Amino acid sequence: MGADKFLLWRRSALGALAAALLGVTSAGAQDYSSRPIRLVVPQAPGGGTDILARNMAQKLTEVLRQPTVVENRTGAGSLVGTEFVAKAPADGHTLLMGGIFNMVMNKALIKNLSYEPARDFIPLGYISAYPFVMLARNDLPVNNLADLVRYGKERPGRLSYGSGGVGTLQHVWGAVLLNSLGIEALHVPFKGAAPAHQEMMGGRLDVMFDNMSASKQYVQSGKLKGLVVSSAARSPHLAQVPTVNETGLTRFEGESWFGIFAPTGTPPAVVAKLREALAQINREPEFVARIERDGGRLLNIAPAQQQAFLQEEIERWVGLVQKYNVSAD
């Protein structure tokens, strides 16, 4: 075979190979679109995570023109549902509604965790982030964080702080913040946040570090005091409440965030399709308005930085939990 004929043959072969690969990718994407998607929520129906997941499932159905259904898999906190998705076939048909609660805090609090968040999952897109508010009962004689520090140090071990249960963000972040301020406080866990709010309004619980979406109504109505917020900037919902960092008393910055994850090994073409769908949802004015109305903000992180964000959050909170010896036991 002459040199010219060889070059022509080589170009033809490479072209055929490229076309074949493109056909495989297109066929894979086409096959993917033919089956429903399960969005697994590792928490019970009716809570904030479940409500957000159902909204996302509806939006994904509209954008992808592919049925997306929510499946609640509860048990052992969020472990059962999260582990289920980690071990599911990596074909893009079983996704996880994740967040700082199961992607970060479980790693920080649970020894011998049955899954490794940064290894077993691929972030498809982050959705929203919500600051926390340090709430105080109205008859507690404090009006700001400096007052709380003074009050707590004068009564070591007697200041009570509530949570929706051991190992929740309310418990962990409350412990980290109060310990960083040098306050020895008594943790009082409840079965959910609502009973803790009632105890505060009844004057039987001193403080609680809770999500903005649940807290803002009590501060806005004057039923509870808002001392500080955990975000980098003040919230427009409670513009009069300073950030923790503004006080200069300690450094604390954190938001409760949510995202959707797929098992590691999901085909790149499917990952790309889902990422574009989630990015499109995050650009919808109605969706953005809903998140902001609930007290949060859109958490738009470019695909190239999504895995790094998860790893940084894990390292940061694992370090703080260890530093302040916070335990879920």
For residues 187 and 160, what is the distance between their CA atoms, to the nearest angstrom? 6
Count of alpha carbons within 13 Å of 304, Cβ hemisphere only? 0
Residue 264: name the closest of 87, 106, 97, 112 by CA: 87
Identify whether 316 is part of a domain.
yes
Write the pLDDT tens digit of every residue in 11-23: 554 444 444 444 4
Whether residues 142 and 115 fall in one domain: no
Residue 16 falls within a domain, yes or no? no
Q: Which of 247, 270, 302 is the last residue of a domain?
A: 247
Tell whether the model's pLDDT for residue 97 goes beyond 70: yes
Query: Does 230 share its domain with 259?
Result: no
Same domain, 150 and 212: yes
Residue 263, CA distances (Å) to 21, 88, 116 in order:
23, 7, 11
Roughly how many angstroms between the first and final C-alpha of the chain, as a whole number? 75
- Provide the whole-model pTM: 0.87
Q: What is the CATH number of the domain that holds 88?
A: 3.40.190.150
For residue 211, give the CATH number of its domain. Answer: 3.40.190.10
Q: Do residues 89 and 225 share a domain?
A: no
Q: Per residue in 99-129, pLDDT tens?
A: 999 999 999 999 899 999 999 999 999 999 9
Contact 137, 216 (CB under 8 A): no
Q: Are 208 and 133 in contact (CB under 8 A)?
A: no
Residue 329, pLDDT score: 73
H helix runs in the chain, sequence order: 3-32, 48-64, 79-86, 100, 106-109, 117-120, 145-154, 169-180, 193-201, 212-220, 244-247, 268-281, 285-293, 303-323
Q: Are residues 220 and 191 in the same domain?
A: yes
> How many domains are contained in the chain?
2
Which of the four pLDDT bands, split at 50, 70 and 90, describes residue 30?
low
Task: Looking at the structure, tell me whether residues 123 and 158 fall in a common domain.
Answer: no
Q: Which residue, 223, 247, 271, sits at the end of a domain?
A: 247
The CA distance from 305 to 282, in Å, is 17
Rounded alpha-carbon distances, angstroms, from residue 119 to 88, 103, 140: 14, 11, 45
How far is residue 134's CA from residue 212's CA, in Å, rounded to a whole number?
9
The mean pLDDT of 159-176, rounded to a whole number, is 95
Residue 161 tokens, joined: 């702080």
* Confidence tier at 25 by pLDDT (50, 70, 90): very low
pLDDT reported for residue 75: 85
pLDDT of residue 2 exceeding 60 = no
Q: For 213-266, how does the pLDDT look when each residue is reduced to its tens digit (9 = 90+)?
A: 999 999 999 999 999 999 999 999 999 999 999 999 999 999 999 999 999 999
Q: Name the residue range of residue 303's domain.
A: 37-128+255-323
Mean pLDDT of the chain: 90
Read off the pLDDT of residues 279-295 as tens digits, 9 standing for 90 and up.
Answer: 999 999 999 999 999 99
